[in-house]
Each structure stands twice: as structure tokens, then as C-alpha cells.
Amino acid sequence: MLPMHTRIFVYTQPVDMRRSFDALGQCVRDVLQQDPESGALFIFAAKSGTSLKILWWETCGYTILYRRLARGTFRLPEATSGAASVLIDARELAMILRGVEPATRKRRVKTLVKHAREKPCESARVPLLNHLHERRQRAARRGPRGSHRCA
């Protein structure tokens, strides 16, 4: 699980999924007016709603987690009063990653490929959140930022 103090921002506009570390980081600075190196998670979704990227700064650099649902679409929370982002918690992130609409808790099913016979993803949140938590723990054991050298 993510530590309770981790802030999670959802960018409310569709993003070109070809963007990578620097372009997404610049979007965080310019549009969201946040520091991408703060340790917060920044979620960006494609216009189709079938894939998203999560940008996260660790002690030595950026990490991007890319998620595409085999079936269904991601339903992101809507911003109020034209805000560029929405602040969510870890529970809402887990529901978004499973393709569940947080407001209604219903899975949004959409066939990505006509001939796909894949089973819907049951839960990818546990490995993802455990991975993030383990990386945070390793970073905490190493000490504050700048006290070690990045390889």
C-alpha cells in the first residue's frame, strides 16, 4: 500500500500517451503548478480512456507506470470549477486502476479488440501498490535525498 501521506493528482484532460518523463514533468510544472519531484503521483489518461500513465519521482529519478486495460475504460474523477487536477486517495487510485468508476463502483466494460477473449483484470492494484510501497521503504532506508549517489 501507499503511505498515507502520498498525494495523488489526476490530470483531468486527455494526454498524448507518447509523452514521456520530461514532457509529463513539464506538464505537472506548467499546468498543474506542482513540483513533479515532490514524491506525489501524477496520473495522466489517454483520450480513449483505455490507458493511463502515472508519473512518480523517486530518490534518483522519475518512474512511469503505464497501465492499459484489456477490457473496459478508466473513469477518472471530474474536476470542479475548471480545475486542471483532482486530488484523490489510494483507495480511489486502486478503483481507477481496476477500471471501476469510483462514484458508482461499477466496472466500465468496453471491448478493446473485437476478438479478444482475455479475462478482465481482477486486480492489478496489489502488485502495483506493493511495488510502490517497497520502493518507498528502500528509499527511506537509504536516507534523505542527496545522501547517496545514483548509479
Q: For 20-36, what is each residue's pLDDT tens digit? A: 999 999 999 999 999 99
The gap from C-alpha 113 to its chain's centroid, in whole angstroms, comes to: 24
pLDDT on residue 126: 59
- Which residues constitute the domain of residue 112? 8-142
Tally of domains within the chain: 1
Assess if residue 19 is contained within a domain: yes
1 domain residue, yes or no: no
Q: Is the pLDDT of residue 101 over 70?
A: no
Residues 6+ apart with CB under 8 A from 137: none
In a domain, 114, yes or no: yes
Helix (H) or strand (E) holding 100: strand 100-101
Specify the DSSP class assigned to residue 54. E
Q: Evaluate if pTM is beyond 0.85.
A: no
148 lies in a domain?
A: no
